[in-house]
Amino acid sequence: MGVTGGSADTFMAGHALKKLLGCKLVLSYHDPINYTTFKDLVVDNHYLFKKDALEKKIIEHSDLIFTSSDTFKQALIKKYPAIKDKIYNYYFGYNQKESI
């Protein structure tokens, strides 16, 4: 499972493990990844290069995605329409039947 708090490190590690071992890749988006675009804005504009291509590669090869808000979920679906059937919103501390 990869969890982001702005960094893509755990997503990258999870993606590598999926390729190496064939395990499932579950992504938990707490926050947008730094240096990517979110709703047509760049997250942390002090970047050397944008990471949108890296994010796309990882997110489209994931098996399941959780977000921390519906706004973030909808923004990711708009950015990557192919993930619409494997992305769910799960508010912290609020247990929804669908999330289980």
Q: Tens digit of pLDDT for each residue in 14-29? A: 899 999 999 999 988 8
Q: Is the pLDDT of residue 70 over 80?
A: yes
28, with CB counted inside 10 A (0-12, 13-18, 19+), is: middle
Q: How many CA atoms lie within 13 A of 88 on its CB side?
A: 13
Confidence class for position 43, pLDDT limits 50, 70, 90 = low
pLDDT at 36 over 80: no
Q: What is the pLDDT of residue 87?
A: 93
Query: pLDDT averaged over the chain?
Result: 78
Closest residue by Cα to residue 72 from 18, 28, 22: 28
- Residue 89, strand partner residues: 67
